[in-house]
Amino acid sequence: RTEFALKEIMSSGGAEDDIPQAERKTVTDFCYLLDKSKQLFNGLRDLPQYGQKQWQSYFGRTFDVYTKLWKFQQQHRQVLDNRYGLKRWQIGEIASKIGQLYYHYYLRTSETSYLNEAFSFYSAIRQRSYYSQVNKEDRPELVVKKLRYYARFIVVCLLLNKMDVVKDLVKELSDEIEDYTHRFNTEDQVEWNLVLQEVAAFIEADPVMVLNDDNTIVITSNRLSETGAPLLEQGMIVGQLALADALIIGNCNNQVKFSELTIDMFRMLQALEREPMNLASQMNKPGMQESTEKPARRENPHKYLLYKPTFSQLYTFLAASFKELPANSVLLIYLSATGVFPSGRSDSEGPYDFGGVLTNSNRDIINGDAIHKRNQSYKEMHCLHPGDLYPFTRKPLFIIVDSSNSVAYKNFTNLFGQPLVCLLSPTAYPKALQGMCGIRGSLFTLFLNNPLMAFLFVSGLSSMRRGLWEKCQDYLRKINRDIAQLLTHSRSIDQSFLQFFGDEFLRLLLTRFIFCSATMRMHKIFRETRNYPESYPQLPRDETVENPHLQKHILELASILDVRNVFLENTLDDY
């Protein structure tokens, strides 16, 4: 590449001797940095996807080279324009690669601040129109680079809840795709149109809109804020365990998705993150943040996002998380997956006799929600059975299962005496709500991510004014505080719940789970046992999900929203 660039200089500038030595060196140095950056970037895909330490030094070197390259092209732009013929789309490519680096750094570290850095580089490309000239060149591969940039930018904006920007980007991407397919008559038109359909469905997945007075939509964030989790009061005896690692697994048939994130995965990952801070004030250049400059707050738990994993992929990541889990830490496993039911009767009731949830078989032969085996005497192979998780209960384990066969995980046994909790979704929903409880994500996960939106949805509301929304959020915070007290004051609750209660994220998930369960038990159309969430170990109902004090709060929230008629008034009398 360097030789080619120098030949270009000679042909454009006359004899090689006419070009000042310094300018020739500038081009040579730029070519070296460009080659080195591409080489390192391409090497990223060879790094192991699991394990938290092996990749860090390689990422650091890649950031270093891109930082030098970015500053170099800024300082020597005129020489590179004249002697190298540097095009604006090439600058856009460098900025796009830096944006991708930050995004992958976020995926590896779960530090949401890196999303802001990715956003700032992707934004600069758009604001400075780096890719605007691409359409004038007769090179379809350059236009594809531009389309991919848009798709990546959209993912980052979705994760940052910048929905206004997403809508603008989708419109621009739609125009670009139309122009691309019209000019080049390519075969990938269907794929790009599918990208547009996926992101449109993703944006519309939330069942309730919060509106300003001028009817514009309020964007609500569901990450953990400073006031998010109920505070522990003095005298509350809880464990000191901290959530350190999480596996978020999505394998539902026909659920809204974008990139490799289903809507359930998207909601759960935000429930395990703090609001992002902007690192710009702390960082002089990309990737050069010193370890001493880390944000002062506690870090987010590390996450692996697994979309439709095979059993062996899931087990590999699970084993890596288990191996690297620090002392006094918790591993969380979130399973949003199609249920796999046992076929035939089994004489025993062991951890492989109740089915479980689907893992990917690498073959698209599976349709519908129930999987039937060829031979009824064998267990389903492409299934994560409760027994598959037994080896990992040697360390504190917090499991959430959102599935039509979640109750398979009720038959757990705590073999090693370590803290262990399973939160299990309803296995069926009332007919009136089934539209929400499938393609647009699960109602149970929505309760864990955004309990007020879920409450509004089951109450039959589809939009709400901002003022009322904020009033209800305040009241919900009060309910969460009271649920926390119910849990910690309970005399008969299993100690596992309290051992997890010291961690902010787990505390919030537990209080939301109890709110979800209490709401469904009071709701007039949730009348079957399978409509209710369950847990292992079981919660003492009278002290938690059927506590009269909590039921009174739920009716009060319903009164604020004028939907009290949806709920049973004297719930305890109905049992």
Q: What is the pLDDT of residue 525?
A: 93
Which has the minimum average pLDDT: 99-108, 225-234, 252-261? 225-234
Residue 528 has pLDDT above 70, yes or no: yes
401 beta partners: 335, 424
The answer to whether 12 and 68 have CB atoms below 8 angstroms apart is: no
Q: Cα separation of 256 and 262, whole Å?
A: 6
Per domain, the residue ranges of the chain are: 19-209, 242-273+299-361+379-566
The CATH class, in words, for 19-209 is: mainly alpha
DSSP string, 515-566: HHHHHHHHBTT--SGGGS-EEESPP-GGGTTT-HHHHHHHHHHHHHTT-GGG
User: Phi then psi for 163, rounded to 5 degrees?
Assistant: -70, -30
* DSSP sequence for 362-413: SS----SSS---S-TTS--SSEE-GGGGGGGGGS-EEEEEESTTGGGGGS--
Query: How buried is 472 (Cβ within 10 angstroms: 0-12 exposed, 13-18 middle, 19+ buried)?
Result: middle
Instruction: Quote the pLDDT of residue 217.
Output: 87
**CA torsion, points 57, 59, 60, 65, in degrees to nearest 10?**
130
Band (290; pLDDT cuts 50, 70, 90): very low
pLDDT at residue 341 is higher than 80: yes
SS in 3 state form for 431-474?
A: HHHCCCCCCCCCHHHHHHHCHHHHHHHHCCCCEEEHHHHHHHHH
In whole numbers, what is the pLDDT of the chain averaged over residues? 86
- Identify which has the larger pLDDT, 235 or 375: 235
Q: What is the pLDDT of residues 444-501, one digit of tens each?
A: 999 999 999 999 999 999 999 999 999 999 999 999 999 999 998 888 999 999 999 9
Closest to 516 measured CA to CA, from 339, 271, 291: 271
Name which of 5-19, 184-198, 278-292, 307-321 the model is least confident about: 278-292
Position 102 pLDDT exceeds 90: yes
Q: Which residues of 359-376 are buried (b: 16+ CB within 10 A; e: fewer)?
A: bbbeeeeeeebebebeee
Q: Residue 10: pLDDT above 70?
A: no
The pLDDT of residue 557 is above 90: yes
Q: Which range has the worst mean pLDDT, 22-31, 337-346, 381-390, 405-414? A: 337-346
Q: In the CATH hierarchy, which top-level class contains the domain 242-273+299-361+379-566?
A: alpha beta
Is the pLDDT confidence value at 105 over 50? yes
Please state the rounded mean pLDDT for residues 74-87. Answer: 90
Would you place residue 62 in the very low, low, confident or very high pLDDT band (cuts 50, 70, 90)? very high
pLDDT of the residue at 367: 47
Band (279; pLDDT cuts 50, 70, 90): very low
Q: How many CB atoms lie within 10 A of CB 226?
A: 8
pLDDT above 50 for 39: yes
Whether 263 and 257 have beta carbons less than 8 Å apart is answered as yes
Closest CA to 260 of 44, 145, 107: 107
Query: Can you give the pLDDT at residue 375?
Result: 55
Which of 102, 114, 37 has the alpha carbon at shortest distance from 71? 37
Instruction: Locate 419 and state its tokens.
Output: 């803290």
pTM equals 0.90
Span 290-299, average pLDDT: 48
> How are beta strands 356-358 and 242-251 bridged, if at all?
unpaired
* pLDDT at res. 376: 59
Looking from the CA of 441 toward its CB, the CA atoms found within 13 Å total 28
pLDDT digits (tens, 9 = 90+) for 107-161: 988 988 899 999 999 999 999 999 988 877 878 889 999 999 999 999 999 999 9
pLDDT of res. 439: 82
DSSP 82: I
Q: For residue 209, what are its two tokens? A: 């809109």
Amino acid at position 129, single letter: S
Local confidence band at 572 (pLDDT 50, 70, 90 cut-offs)? very low
Which pLDDT belongs to residue 510? Answer: 97
Quick one: pLDDT at residue 8?
52
Q: What is the pLDDT at residue 135? A: 79
Across the range 513-517, mean pLDDT stands at 97
pLDDT band at 45 (very low <50, low <70, confident <90, very high): confident
Cα separation, 267 vs 441, whole angstroms: 9
Please tell me if the domain spanning 19-209 has the same topology as the one spanning 242-273+299-361+379-566. no
357-403, pLDDT tens digit by residue? 999 886 544 444 445 545 556 788 899 999 999 999 999 999 999 99
